[in-house]
Amino acid sequence: MNTNLRIDRDRLWQSLMTLARIGGTEKGGVCRIALTDLDREGRDLFVRWCKEAGCSIEVDRMGNIFARRPGRNPKLPAIGTGSHLDTQPTGGKFDGAYGVMAGLEVIRTLNDHGIETEAPVEVVVWTNEEGSRFAPAMVASGVFAGVFDEAYGLSRADPDGKTMGEELKRIGYAGELACGGRPYGAFFEAHIEQGPILEAERKTIGVVTGAQGQRWYEIWLTGQEAHAGPTPMTVRHDALLGAARLVQEANRIGLSEAPWGRATVGMMQVSPNSRNTIPGHVFFTVDFRHPDDAALTRMDAALRAAAEKVAKEIGLELKLEQIWYSPPVAFAAPCVDAVRQASKTLGMQAMEIVSGAGHDAVYVSRVAPTGMIFVPCENGISHNEVENATLGDIGAGCDVLLHAMLERAQAG
């Protein structure tokens, strides 16, 4: 293998910046929510660039896009890479988009140097990774991996009642190909870390060995609406008071499983949301994460016990549903080693790391040997319009991706 082979970093950067203009915000971030018109524009741009690079395009029924560069032996399973193009409402330029553009840059680099791989090389755009519009997250890669069926995936609805199936048809990305059953010899996802560890350790490459487990909950508390003035404190059934106590309990539960426990209440809806009416109804979400499944199970039990206790003390009706569970994942040793060896060959400063966030690669790992590559992001900030990374780090991660994929593609 040519150890001097490198991607075109300026071209990769320019691709990212051009894509970021679709849904660009005044603060320098990106708002390109899944299956909106802006998401369609981003998809269209990706497809056009891939066709210009000589790729064939297929789209499955969940809207996942597959751009393939043929290999010498078409019977071999492809070596895949990719991520997502949808963002958070106040997202950045790099989350997801980097992994897609890095895959495209790998194909462009192979074209530039006239390199023919033994196995085909494929770049994938997964639909609705973020889960900010349609819950749960990573639903389309989950259908691909057999975690969910197509009917479930297509029926996921946004707060306005619009389903993924309806919106895929509306934007023109409801493909005819069945979702799943597509073999990969290996799959790699390049991503910004979305945390502070690589930057703090002054490492350029994170060799991702696995991902934390996650549990997502939706909780409804129902009390009694009443006038804020005449109603004594001792007889109130304040749903927001119950929610406040459970937010504090969720935080305590996360801290109790230090240093790896994570607990977040990220969404809350209060009704009737009037300043002089005691809240009678509250809906909110809880997100638990931990790399140890036993710890995640303890966190689950603690949340349920706390919710029952709070509801009883305040006199509230409680409904608690776990809407998503993704167990901790260990990535395939050959793929992890390919990333490790590529980093070493290229002289990159690297360290092993566990992903704190969920990624499409987590589900893909159920049906294909999978690995991930992390690069630092400024101050570890992501899901934020100020999300940032350097050209050097972005380029270095793509160089590692190129060499890891080549090693697997040539090996067949």
* 121-174 pLDDT, tens digit each: 999 999 999 999 999 899 999 999 999 999 999 999 999 999 999 999 999 999
- pLDDT of 371 over the 70 cut: yes
CATH topology (fold) of 213-326: Alpha-Beta Plaits (3.30.70)
Q: Is residue 266 within 8 Å of 288, Cβ to Cβ?
A: no
**What is Dmax (Cα atoms) for the chain?**
80
- pLDDT of 274 over the 80 cut: yes
- pLDDT of 310 over the 70 cut: yes
> What was the pLDDT predicted at 154?
98
Taking residues 370-384, report their average pLDDT.
Answer: 97
Q: Lowest-pLDDT range, 46-50, 352-356, 399-403? A: 352-356
Residues 6+ apart with CB under 8 A from 320: 217, 218, 219, 220, 303, 304, 307
Secondary-structure class of domain 9-212+328-411 per CATH: alpha beta
Strand partners, 389: none
- pLDDT of 412 over the 70 cut: no
What's the one-letter identity of residue 126? Answer: W
Calculate what percentage of the chain has a pLDDT beyond 70: 99
Sequence spans of domains, the chain: 9-212+328-411, 213-326
Tell me the two tokens of residue 391: 């050209």
Confidence label for 411 from pLDDT (cuts 50, 70 and 90):
low
Phi and psi at residue 184, in whole multiples of 5°?
-130, 135
> What was the pLDDT predicted at 410?
87
Taking residues 31-35, report their average pLDDT.
Answer: 98
Strand partners, 326: 214
> What was the pLDDT predicted at 155?
98
Q: Is residue 262 within 8 Å of 213, Cβ to Cβ?
A: no
Alpha-carbon distance 173 to 66, whole Å?
Answer: 12
Angstrom distances, CA of residue 12 to CA of 104, 120, 389, 409: 9, 21, 13, 22
User: The whole model's pTM is what?
Assistant: 0.85
Helices (H), 172-231: 197-201
Alpha-carbon distance 206 to 350, whole Å?
Answer: 6
